[in-house]
Amino acid sequence: MARLDGHRTAELRSLADHRLVAQKLRDDPELIARARAKLDAVLADAAPGSGAAQEARDHRQASPFAGALSARERWQLWRDAATASIGTER
């Protein structure tokens, strides 16, 4: 049975996600304005000098482009990434 490589799946999923977001940004420049607004809100909420490790991890996991992809698009690229990583061995 083929082994599912979780790291490879995550990498493929991330690449597919970024490619699709990039295409959407080309098609709809308003997404950039929405991303800027999200970043402005995050920066406004950040306490000056706060550098707690958990807060930093949380911010790295959040994308200003969240919401650029529909749930259907996101699930499809996740399925595609999982399928592409089946059987990859290091």
**pTM score, whole prediction:** 0.56
Pull the structure tokens for residue 11: 């990498």
Q: What is the pLDDT of residues 11-56, one digit of tens each?
A: 888 888 888 889 999 999 898 998 888 888 877 776 666 556 666 6
What is the predicted pLDDT for the residue at 52? 67
User: Three-state DSSP class for 28?
Assistant: coil
What is the predicted pLDDT for the residue at 2? 46
Biggest alpha carbon distance in the chain? 52
For the chain, give every domain's residue range.
6-43+57-85
Q: What is the pLDDT of residues 51-89, one digit of tens each?
A: 566 666 666 567 778 778 888 988 888 888 778 766 554
